[in-house]
């Protein structure tokens, strides 16, 4: 039995919701789309139609944003008076696209614009006083922030004192007190009433651009889609409209920079969707800000020069490859640290050589593997402070946890799921211990991350047509995830490791006469788990695999659980180094002659009788070190113990099954020799007898034991002598003979049968309990 990584949660439907589904179906919506819409909170037919056919006509008037009229007037004034305008952005994909959208809009109406994206390692996040001072000295008269600014009190006050107005456009968490700015455009402004609160930074910049131009800048929607998807904001409401429309523009974009990036990165823009952005474009743009300056990314988005575009795209591709290598190396180091630490409520991981720019990604990987909050740290060469990023699980508020010891930090900020912090290196152990104490009582079964199941399906339900139908719910993302389906009682067939590091799986799920290709990313280590149980329940997403013009449905596995006893085949030297097992099993030895070397004494049990089983009834993980020959004992063991995971090692000193039973002719040859010679030395002359009779020594010993058991011979001081006129008996009447046959049967089952047959035998014992 293998439990799922996540806590599966299936939404039940009320009677009213069931009735709504029927209304949707009556209006020609398919049953699956109707059900999924209702489970996504769609409450009316009008809402359903709006959801399925998002249109720009349904976007909100940009002047509903607080201070928009004031900001637009000030920008227009700057353009009319020939003032120099600085757009101050951010170093991630949202900041890059925000900067580009507003730059193009201002230039389109004649403005003179410069832009600056701060350097993560030099300037930090948000408004920077030194950078502001530099540009003010260069003659900048107006600063417009995009995707930052609401927490930039110091820099904004400095600009104001220098007589330079700052217009803030941002979407991040609002501080208790807003900074001194000429205007603050934010969808959640405390004095505003904008209908949609979850715009990305690029969404806010797009609204400013729309207000400036007096119309929607359609050519900017590709950038809006990229920034919105990349920033993981809610893909509902207005964002859904913007991304849906933006993806249509992206498929036919005229930006030579995006085409260059697609060519270098083997991205298919003509069929772009949210995954093209999330897994292709966004990571490449983000890589620039993580490892170096993000400024060239804006140049890529705005250039009309094919050669320049290809040069920048190549640099971005190489930077992303470097980022991937760093993440891979650091994640490996971090996971090794986690293994050495054992299970903890929170992991605080530090290594001086780790690259600061990728620590957040690494933390996310560790959280995914461990289901524990994680903070990953490195040392800043300039300040000598430990600096890093933290990520959390849904049910533990990392910001609140860190807030309880905030006096120990030099800097600290974040939200529920993520945080950044820095502190003096000599406080590392103290902070580790404090965080463990704080988080420890918060770790319960309820902290297990939830995976929402949208519906149950059978493999026979799946078709390319069904998956195409599901795309009506896209674009998928935050608050509108791609549907997760539960498939129960599957068998796994042909599962194998794939990928450069064998860290992914590919195979088939099978249900009676139906099957589907299955991909499991990042689950390479789970291959033994998947193939060991009676059946596997799988939760995953559906997609279409296209190759050489052929389209085929496939399942992307997200999580799984294995039902029934799991049997791990370690016979014949397969991974018999039990010191490497990531488990703490009980080792069971059935026979006196079996060696117990290298097995921890405290984990070792000798089982010879039913009474020996009493101490094992609560054991869930067990290793059979050798072959059980007592059928009654092993039957009682597997029926009385609640075994979830059984590891078959099955060492034998003599293999009865392979040796087989001596032939009648061989029994006769030994019998005749004894009758002829009268007595034979079987203590010192056994090898010579074996060679003379051409019978293996093991078989010869067995024949002698059978003859002794039947009373055909006597044995005294190593001398075997014939018995005059012994009673006529069949070989089968010998207990020794029968015991040998029984050992053959037990070895056939436990040493040579396949795992499915052994599982079936165990199931029979449990049924007969």
Average pLDDT over residues 301-310: 97
Query: Does position 578 have pLDDT exceeding 70, yes or no?
Result: no
Say what the pLDDT of residue 198 is: 96
Whether residue 173 sits in one domain with residue 44:
no
Place of tokens 């800000």: 289
Instruction: Dump strand ranges (E) for 34-150.
Output: 84-88, 112-116, 140-146
Q: What is the mean pLDDT of residues 651-674?
A: 93
Distances (CA, A) of 35 to 13, 428, 464: 9, 50, 19
Question: What are the pLDDT digits (tens) for 676-730?
Answer: 999 999 999 999 999 999 999 999 999 999 999 999 999 999 999 999 999 999 9
Measured distance CA(623)–CA(600) in Å, rounded: 12
Q: How far is CA 90 from CA 21, 87, 117, 149, 347, in A?
A: 44, 10, 5, 10, 29
Residue 595's pLDDT is: 84
* Residue 600 pLDDT greater than 90, yes or no: no
Of 714, 627, 698, give the one whose Cα is nearest residue 666.
698
User: What is the gyration radius of the CA atoms in the chain, in angstroms?
Assistant: 36
513 secondary structure, DSSP code? T
Choice among 124-133, 180-189, 223-232, 584-593 with the minimum mean pLDDT: 584-593
pLDDT of residue 34: 96
- CATH code of the domain containing 285: 3.90.1640.30
Residues 286 and 148 in one domain: yes
Dig out the tokens for 123 from the structure: 């300037």
* Domains identified in the chain, total number: 6
State the CB neighbour count (10 A cutoff) for residue 399: 18
Q: Do the domain assignments include residue 334?
A: no
CATH number, domain with residue 369: 3.10.310.30
Point out the least confidently predicted range of 495-499, 545-549, 552-556, 746-750: 545-549
Pick the more confident residue, 447 or 19.
Answer: 19
Domain boundary among 319, 352, 381: 319
Residue 165: predicted pLDDT: 98
Indicate whether 552 and 600 sit together in one domain: no
Residue with tokens 């007190």: 177
Mean pLDDT of 329-345: 94
For residues 225 and 241, state if they share a domain.
yes
Structure confidence by residue, pLDDT tens digits, 55-81: 999 999 999 999 999 999 999 999 999
Q: At residue 419, does pLDDT exceed 80?
A: yes
3-state helix, strand, coil in the chain (%, to 5): 45, 20, 30
Residue 576 is predicted with a pLDDT of: 53
Shared domain for 230 and 99, answered yes or no, is yes
Please tell me the distance from the alpha carbon of residue 719 to that of residue 12, in angstroms, as a whole number: 81
pLDDT, averaged across the chain: 93
DSSP 573-598: GTT--GGG-SS-PEEEE--TTS--TT
- Last residue of a domain, which of 536, 563, 590? 563
pLDDT band at 743 (very low <50, low <70, confident <90, very high): very high
For residue 471, what is the DSSP state? G
**82 shares a domain with 49:** no
Query: What is the rounded CA–CA span in Å between residue 299 and residue 295?
Result: 7
Q: What gap in Å lies between CA 617 and CA 631, rounded to an integer? A: 18
Helices (H), 410-508: 428-439, 464-470
Q: Which residue has the tokens 């400095």?
A: 158
| CATH code of residue 537 | 2.40.50.460
Quote the CA–CA distance of 626 and 200 in Å, as a whole number.
62
The answer on pLDDT for 598 being more than 80 is no
| Residue whose entry in the numeric block shows the structure tokens 């597997």 | 638
Task: Yes or no: say if 615 and 594 are a contact pair by the CB < 8 Å rule.
Answer: no
Q: How many Å apart are CA 327 and CA 333, to the nearest integer?
A: 10
Residues 302 and 425 in one domain: no
**Which pLDDT value is given to residue 328?**
94
- pLDDT (mean) for 641-670: 92
**How many Cβ atoms are within 10 Å of 264's Cβ, its own excluded?**
19
Name the 3-class secondary structure at 443: coil
pLDDT value, residue 109:
96
85 and 200 within one domain: yes
Burial 569-583 (b: 16+ CB within 10 A, else e): bbbeeeeeebeeeee
Gap between the Cα atoms of 730 and 727, Å rounded: 10
Q: Is residue 324 part of a domain?
A: no
Around Cβ 273, how many Cβ atoms within 10 Å?
Answer: 18
Identify which has the larger pLDDT, 765 or 191: 191
Question: Is there a domain that residue 739 lies in?
Answer: no
506-553: per-residue pLDDT in tens?
999 999 889 999 999 989 988 888 888 889 999 999 999 988 888 999
CB 113 within 8 A of CB 54: no
Do 365 and 416 reside in the same domain of the chain?
yes
- Kindly state whether residues 576 and 541 are assigned to the same domain: no
Question: Does 222 reside within a domain?
Answer: yes
Q: What is the distance between the alpha carbons of residues 464 and 474, in angstroms, rounded to a whole number? A: 16
Whether 428 and 435 have beta carbons less than 8 Å apart is answered as no
Asked if residue 573 has pLDDT above 80, the reply is no
Percent above pLDDT 70 for the chain: 98
Arithmetic mean of pLDDT, 8-16: 92
Q: β-strands 535-547, 550-563: how paired? A: antiparallel
Is residue 332 in some structural domain?
A: no
- Let me know if residue 336 belongs to a domain: no
Kind plus residue range of the DSSP H or E element containing 720? strand 719-722
Q: What is the spatial distance between Cα 55 and Cα 240, in angstroms, rounded to a whole number?
A: 9
SS3 track for 636-656: HHHHHCCCCEEEEEEECCCCH
Q: Are residues 151 and 190 in the same domain?
A: yes
pTM of structure: 0.84
- Domain annotation covers residue 396: yes
Q: How confident is the model at residue 749 (pLDDT cuts 50, 70, 90)?
A: very high
> What is the rounded distance in angstroms from the CA atom of residue 404 to the CA atom of residue 435?
9
Q: Which domain holds residue 667?
A: 657-733
Q: Are 349 and 338 in contact (CB under 8 A)?
A: yes
Instruction: Examine the domain organization and report whether 114 and 203 are in the same domain.
Output: yes
User: What whole-number percentage of the chain has pLDDT above 90?
Assistant: 80
Q: Which residue has 């000193």 as its token pair?
A: 653
Domain at 713, CATH number? 1.10.10.10
In a domain, 741, yes or no: no
Q: CB neighbours of 600 closer than 8 A, spacing ≥ 6? A: 587
Report d(CA 141, CA 151) in Å as an integer: 21
């Amino acid at each position: 039995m293998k439990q799922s990584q996540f806590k599966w949660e299936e939404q039940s439907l009320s009677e009213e919701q069931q009735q709504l589904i029927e209304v949707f179906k009556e209006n020609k919506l398919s049953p699956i789309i109707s059900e999924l819409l209702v489970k996504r909170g769609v409450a009316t037919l009008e809402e359903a139609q709006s959801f399925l056919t998002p249109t720009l006509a349904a976007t909100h008037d940009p002047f509903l944003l607080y201070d928009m009229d004031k900001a637009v007037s000030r920008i227009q004034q700057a353009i009319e008076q020939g003032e120099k305008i600085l757009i101050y952005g951010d170093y991630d994909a949202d900041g890059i696209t925000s900067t580009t959208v507003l730059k193009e809009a201002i230039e389109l109406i004649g403005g003179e614009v410069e832009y600056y994206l701060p350097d993560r390692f030099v300037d930090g996040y948000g408004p920077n006083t030194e950078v502001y001072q530099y540009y003010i000295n260069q003659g900048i008269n107006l600063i417009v922030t995009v995707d930052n600014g609401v927490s930039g009190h110091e820099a904004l006050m400095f600009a104001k004192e220098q007589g330079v107005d700052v217009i803030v456009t941002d979407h991040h968490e609002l501080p208790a007190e807003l900074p001194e700015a000429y205007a603050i455009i934010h969808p959640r402004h405390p004095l505003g009433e904008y209908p949609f609160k979850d715009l990305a930074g690029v969404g806010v910049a797009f609204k400013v651009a729309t207000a400036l131009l007096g119309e929607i800048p359609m050519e900017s929607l590709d950038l809006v889609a990229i920034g919105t998807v990349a920033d993981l904001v809610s893909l509902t409401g207005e964002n859904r409209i913007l991304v849906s429309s933006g993806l249509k523009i992206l498929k036919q974009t005229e930006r030579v920079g995006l085409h260059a990036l697609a060519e270098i990165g083997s991205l298919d823009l003509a069929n772009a969707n949210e995954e093209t952005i999330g897994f292709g474009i966004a990571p490449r743009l983000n890589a620039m800000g993580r490892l170096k300056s993000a400024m060239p990314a804006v140049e890529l988005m705005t250039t009309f020069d094919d050669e320049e575009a290809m040069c920048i795209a190549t640099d971005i591709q190489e930077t992303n490859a470097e980022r991937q290598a760093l993440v891979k190396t650091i994640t490996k180091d971090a996971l090794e640290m986690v293994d050495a630490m054992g299970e903890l409520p929170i992991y605080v991981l530090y290594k001086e050589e780790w690259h600061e720019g990728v620590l957040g990604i690494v933390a996310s990987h560790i959280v995914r593997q461990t289901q524990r909050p994680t903070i990953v740290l490195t040392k800043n060469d300039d300040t000598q402070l430990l600096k890093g990023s933290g990520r959390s699980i849904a049910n533990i508020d990392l910001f609140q946890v860190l807030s309880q010891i905030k006096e120990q930090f030099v800097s600290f900020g974040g939200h529920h799921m993520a945080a950044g912090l820095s502190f003096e290196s000599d406080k590392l152990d103290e902070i580790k211990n404090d965080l463990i104490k704080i988080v420890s009582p918060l770790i319960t079964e309820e902290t297990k991350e939830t995976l929402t199941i949208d519906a149950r399906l059978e493999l026979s339900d799946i078709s390319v047509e069904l998956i195409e139908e599901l795309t009506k719910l896209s674009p998928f993302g935050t608050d509108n995830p791609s549907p997760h389906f539960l498939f129960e009682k599957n068998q796994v067939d042909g599962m194998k490791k794939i990928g450069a590091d064998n860290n992914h799986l590919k195979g088939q799920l099978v249900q009676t006469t139906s099957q589907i290709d299955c991909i499991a990313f990042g689950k390479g280590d789970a291959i033994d788990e998947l193939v060991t149980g009676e059946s596997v329940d799988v939760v995953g997403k559906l997609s279409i695999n296209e190759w050489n013009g052929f389209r085929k449905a496939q399942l992307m596995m997200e999580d799984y659980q294995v039902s029934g006893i799991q049997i791990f085949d370690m016979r014949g030297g397969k991974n018999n180094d039990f010191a490497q097992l990531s488990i703490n099993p009980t080792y069971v030895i059935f026979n006196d002659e079996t060696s117990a070397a290298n097995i921890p004494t405290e984990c070792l049990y000798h089982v010879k009788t039913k009474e020996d089983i009493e101490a094992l009834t609560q054991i869930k993980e067990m290793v059979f070190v050798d072959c059980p020959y007592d059928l009654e004992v092993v039957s009682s063991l597997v029926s009385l113990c609640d075994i979830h995971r059984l590891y078959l090692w099955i060492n034998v000193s003599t293999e009865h099954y392979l040796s087989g039973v001596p032939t009648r002719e061989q029994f006769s040859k030994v019998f005749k020799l004894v009758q002829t010679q009268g007595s034979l030395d079987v203590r010192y002359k056994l090898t010579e007898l074996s060679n003379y009779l051409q019978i293996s020594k093991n078989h010869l010993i067995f024949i002698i034991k059978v003859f002794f058991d039947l009373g055909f011979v006597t044995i005294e001081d190593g001398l075997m002598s014939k018995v005059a006129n012994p009673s006529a008996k069949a070989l089968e009447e010998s207990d020794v003979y029968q015991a040998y046959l029984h050992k053959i049967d037990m070895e056939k089952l436990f040493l040579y049968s396949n795992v499915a047959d052994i599982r079936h035998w165990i199931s029979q014992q449990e049924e007969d309990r």
